[in-house]
Structure 1
């Protein structure tokens, strides 16, 4: 099969086309012919040599896919009703930048009603990440306010749509342009803050009568961390999903103590199949109906052919995108 490998840690140019053997599913896995694969921040970190795959997992990047089941592992029929030919999306620990990948059957979901395979490929990683960390772990609920950094990223658009659909009172986002501001407002943000022009702490305080927000979702880190503490309300919860800006250089913990804040951090990739299975169950129960009703829809910015993965990563580094970038397997026959 055709696949994309990381020749060595570095920039987008290190993503190179290669030929690999088609993987063989284990007893509880299925082999999926990939129609499309979503691109995510962890892929970029892996490319840079900052986020190695778990032990025993392929070095091919890519964590979310959609396509057709073509082989069932020997035990799959005992634990699942999936059949060869079913169209599915899946979260995997690696291997998405290829024509085929294996996935634990417990981490496979039917394509949501109303979505194409390409759209479905942009769902598992971002929706699972937001649901697991913001809703399941941090306990976000209706009637709460939230600040979402990277408002037009895959995580940002997903968090905005879900919080709007599930009853947030105020949704603040940070974005990098007037175009992104408008897009974020259309997705459901109450206030979209252009971080190039305005200070998000000042804007949040101004629009909350100096109270701050109940939740913060942050994919940036760096100097955003102490500013998140300033923007948070009493007993606020900061959910750290990414670290795009890297380490915190200077940190004053007093606001955390004074406001009784909670700062949560977690990754999805290292969680067990069973843990991910529970997230899948909740998504299908709570979020799949929102897709079917047309209340939410993955924001797809641009697609690239599999062999052009390096161009997709270059686009991601350039910024300016609104939603997800997706790789297409042009050999897939619908």
Structure 2
């Protein structure tokens, strides 16, 4: 089967053996894949958790059909249309755990479905489970123009946030954030961005920051969060190391929470997928939670898809079809 593999000279499409499902796994005939920032890093040889390096089949998000079941797989049938996340997605076939997937709604095609698993699981966990957002509260999403950022704002609105603020350093993308739930859009590269956040919250700061930037905005985040507010560290596009004002953190009594899928057990990941199904799945089926597709590429042009991502001018998801 065809797969996109990181080789000794970089990523390339090559032929590899089709995998066989074991235990609770199932074999998926992949029809579409969503690109993510972590994938871009791995195309350059970076390690993401336990994955990466020569021989790695790239990709982590897919939609397709169940081709075969492992002996302990439950809750899904051969032929079912599903979407999910997991290793080695950029291939004609991939393996999935039976608890790390969603059934594709009947009103959704594979391209659309491939945009959703990572964003839904990541941001429901960040906004609702760890962020503890309650109806009537305020939230700031740093890095809001990414696929997961757009989903974070939509989930916040769906859960009753009274004020949703999104950040983007690109003026064109910033101008489009209101279509995805933002009441206010800010430029986090502007040194004075904390002021409009405070002005919009009567000087108190937001109840919750979902931070995909970190790095250089860490101390500004502290200043923009209300006393006893929460910051959930989801991503570190602005840097993994930076100055941190521990005194401000303590004075504002902020709960600072780090999240990642890299160190979670399969049982923890299954629980996250279950929470999405129990809490917000009706909104997915009703298309109240969805992501725009920026561009679709054929699998043979997957290198062009990553070049498009690296140019960093897209809004929403880049999809590759097989």
TM-score by length of 1: 0.90
After the TM superposition, which residues 167-246 of structure 1 pair with which residues of structure 2 at under 5 Å, given as runs? 167-196=160-189, 199-246=192-239
Q: Is the 8 A contact 1:174 1:200 kept in 2?
A: no
Give 3-state SS (helix, strand or coil) of 2:215's partner.
coil
Counterpart among 142, 145, 158 of residue 149 in structure 1: 142
Counterpart among 80, 85, 93 of residue 86 in structure 1: 80
Q: Following the alignment from structure 1 to structure 2, what is the Cα–Cα distance between the partners of residues 165 and 134?
A: 11
Q: CA 1:186–1:56 in 2, change beyond 3 Å: closer, same or farther?
A: closer
Q: Following the alignment from structure 2 to structure 1, what is the Cα–Cα distance between the partners of residues 120 and 142?
A: 16
Q: Is the 8 A contact 1:222 1:247 kept in 2?
A: yes
TM-score by length of 2: 0.93
Give 3-state SS (helix, strand or coil) of 1:297's partner.
coil
Cα deviation for residue 128 of structure 1 reads 0.3
* Residue matched to 1:2: 2
* Residue matched to 1:41: 37
Cα deviation for residue 110 of structure 1 reads 0.5
Q: CA 1:293–1:232 in 2, change beyond 3 Å: closer, same or farther?
A: same
* Structure 1 unmatched ranges of 5 or more: 330-334
Q: Is the 8 A contact 1:46 1:53 kept in 2?
A: no
1:137-156 CA-to-partner distances (Å, cap 9, x unmatched) read 22122111111011110111
Q: CA 1:187–1:202 in 2, change beyond 3 Å: closer, same or farther?
A: same
* Residue matched to 1:332: none
Q: Following the alignment from structure 2 to structure 1, what is the Cα–Cα distance between the partners of residues 265 and 96?
A: 13
Counterpart among 58, 61, 67 of residue 61 in structure 1: 58
Q: CA 1:192–1:52 in 2, change beyond 3 Å: closer, same or farther?
A: closer
Q: Following the alignment from structure 2 to structure 1, what is the Cα–Cα distance between the partners of residues 102 and 228?
A: 36
Q: Is the 8 A contact 2:42 2:52 kept in 1?
A: no
Would you say 1:71 and 2:71 are equivalent positions? no
CA-based RMSD of the aligned residues comes to 2.1
The structure showing larger relative contact order (alpha-carbon pairs under 8 Å, at least 6 residues apart) is: 1
Give 3-state SS (helix, strand or coil) of 2:58's partner.
coil
